[in-house]
C-alpha cells in the first residue's frame, strides 16, 4: 500500500488490518513512533475534522506537520501548478495528505511524487480516510461489519463520503437504503459497481418507513458548494431533517452517524439521545488516521 487514494484500491484484508491497528492505537498509541517524520497537509479546500485529526494523529505519534490551509499566502496565488507545489512538498516531508476540489487530484499528485499520498477528499469523488474511520465507528458500535442494514441519507450525488463508504462496506454483505431526492441520487456508475459486486440496495425518497429496520443511519449534508445552480440547492436543502421524535421507532442499538459538519439535517435534540454517535465518530478519526499514517510510512507493527 503506497498511497491511499480510493477505497476501490484497498483489499478487504488491508481494510481489516487498518481497523485492527486503529483499535490497538486507541488503547495504546505509544507502540508507534513517528518522531522525525513530517506530514505535509495540502488543503486547497476547507476542513476542520480531516485536517485537524490528521495533525493530532501525527503529533500524538511523535511526528511533525507542515502545510497549507487554503491557498492564501502560498505561491499558488502566483500561479504555481498543483504538480510543482506537490513536488516541493515531497522534498520537505515524508507523506502528503491532500484535499482538493478537482476529482482525481490526489491520484494525479500520487503520480508526480515519490512519497505516499493520502486523498483527504477530491471534489465530489472519494474521501477514503473518512470511510475507514466510518467503518471503525460502525464496528465499534455494532460489534460487527457483516450483514448490517444501513440507510445513507441526503446528498448521495455530491457527498463523497457516501461514495467511499458504499465501496468500503461492499465486502461485508450490507443492505443499503439510498435515501435522497431524485436529483441527488447515488451516481449510476457506483450503483452499477455495487450490482456487479452483488450488493443489495434499494433507492428511496423518504426515510420514515425504514427507520425501524436499520442498524445505521448515515446522514449527509446537502453539499451547497457543489451545486452549479443555486435554485436547485434551494429546492432540496431541507429534504431530510432528522429529529429525536423521528427516531422513536428505531432499534435500541441503531446509531446515527454524520461525517460533519452538519447544517440543519440533524436537530440538536438528537445529540442527547442514545442514537447520536457522530461526535464519537469524529474522535475515531484520530485513531484511524494514526493507523493510516503508520501503515503508509512503513511503521505499522
Ligand atoms: N468529515 C469531514 O471531512 O469534515 P471536514 O470537512 O471538517 O474535514
Question: How many angstroms does the Cα of residue 260 sit away from the middle of ligand 1?
Answer: 6
How close is the Cα of 121 to the center of ligand 1, in Å? 9
Q: What is the pLDDT, as a whole number, of residue 222? A: 95
pTM assigned to the model:
0.95
User: Is 49 marked active-site?
Assistant: yes
Question: Is residue 51 among the annotated active site residues?
Answer: no
Q: Which residues of 108-136 are buried (b: 16+ CB within 10 A; e: fewer)?
A: bbbebbebbbbbbbbbbbbbbbbbbbbbb
**Which entry of 3, 15, 37, 49 is annotated as an active-site residue?**
49
Is 258 a residue of the active site?
no
Dist CA 174 CA 224 (whole Å): 29
d(CA 6, CA 209): 33
262 given a catalytic annotation: no
> Which among 163, 146, 132 is positioned nearest to 10, based on CA atoms?
132
Nearest residue (CA) to ligand 1, atom 4? 49
Residue-range domains of the chain with CATH:
7-126+285-296 (3.40.50.1370), 128-282 (3.40.50.1370)
User: Cβ–Cβ contacts within 10 Å for residue 142, how many?
Assistant: 17
Q: For 120-132, what is the mean pLDDT?
A: 94
CA 53 to ligand 1: nearest atom: 8
Cell 446509531 locates to: 255
Average pLDDT over residues 143-160: 96
Averaged confidence pLDDT in the chain: 96
C-alpha cell at 120: 483527504
Give me the pLDDT at residue 269, please: 98
pLDDT band at 1 (very low <50, low <70, confident <90, very high): confident
Nearest-atom index, ligand 1, CA of 120: 3
Whether 192 shows a pLDDT value over 90: the answer reads yes
What is the greatest pairwise CA distance in the chain? 56
Give yes or no for residue 8 having a pLDDT over 90.
no
Q: Please write down the long-range contacts of 101-104, taking CB distance under 8 Å and 24 or more positions apart.
A: 101/44, 101/45
Candidates 41, 42, 45, 47: which one to mutate for ligand 1, based on the most atoms within 8 Å of Cβ?
A: 47
Amino acid at each position: 500500500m503506497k498511497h491511499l487514494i480510493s477505497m476501490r484500491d484497498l483489499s478487504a484484508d488491508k481494510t481489516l488490518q487498518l481497523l485492527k491497528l486503529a483499535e490497538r492505537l486507541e488503547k495504546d498509541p505509544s507502540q508507534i513512533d513517528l518522531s522525525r517524520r513530517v506530514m505535509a497537509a495540502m488543503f486547497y479546500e476547507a476542513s476542520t475534522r480531516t485536517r485537524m485529526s490528521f495533525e493530532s494523529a501525527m503529533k500524538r505519534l511523535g511526528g511533525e506537520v507542515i502545510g497549507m490551509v487554503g491557498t492564501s499566502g502560498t505561491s499558488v496565488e502566483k500561479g504555481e501548478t498543483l504538480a510543482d507545489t506537490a513536488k516541493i512538498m515531497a522534498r520537505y516531508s515524508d507523506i502528503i495528505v491532500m484535499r482538493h476540489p478537482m476529482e482525481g487530484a490526489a491520484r494525479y499528485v500520487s503520480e508526480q511524487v515519490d512519497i505516499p499520498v493520502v486523498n483527504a477528499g477530491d471534489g465530489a469523488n472519494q474521501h477514503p480516510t473518512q470511510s475507514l474511520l466510518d467503518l471503525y465507528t460502525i464496528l465499534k458500535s455494532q460489534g460487527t461489519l457483516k450483514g448490517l442494514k444501513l440507510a445513507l441519507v441526503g446528498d448521495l450525488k455530491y457527498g463523497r463520503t457516501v461514495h467511499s463508504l458504499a465501496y468500503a462496506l461492499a465486502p461485508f454483505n450490507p443492505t443499503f437504503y439510498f435515501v435522497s431526492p431524485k436529483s441527488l441520487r447515488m451516481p449510476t456508475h457506483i450503483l452499477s459497481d455495487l450490482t456487479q459486486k452483488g450488493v443489495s440496495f434499494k433507492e428511496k425518497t423518504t426515510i420514515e418507513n425504514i427507520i425501524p429496520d436499520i442498524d445505521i443511519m448515515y446522514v449527509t449534508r446537502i453539499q451547497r458548494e457543489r451545486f452549479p445552480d443555486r435554485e436547485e440547492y434551494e429546492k432540496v436543502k431541507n429534504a431530510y431533517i432528522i429529529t429525536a421524535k423521528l427516531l422513536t421507532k428505531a432499534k435500541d442499538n441503531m446509531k446515527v452517524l454524520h461525517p460533519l459538519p452538519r447544517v440543519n439535517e440533524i436537530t440538536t435534540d438528537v445529540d442527547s439521545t442514545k442514537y447520536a454517535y457522530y461526535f464519537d465518530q469524529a474522535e475515531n478519526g484520530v485513531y484511524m488516521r494514526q493507523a493510516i499514517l503508520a501503515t503508509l510510512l512503513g511503521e505499522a507493527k
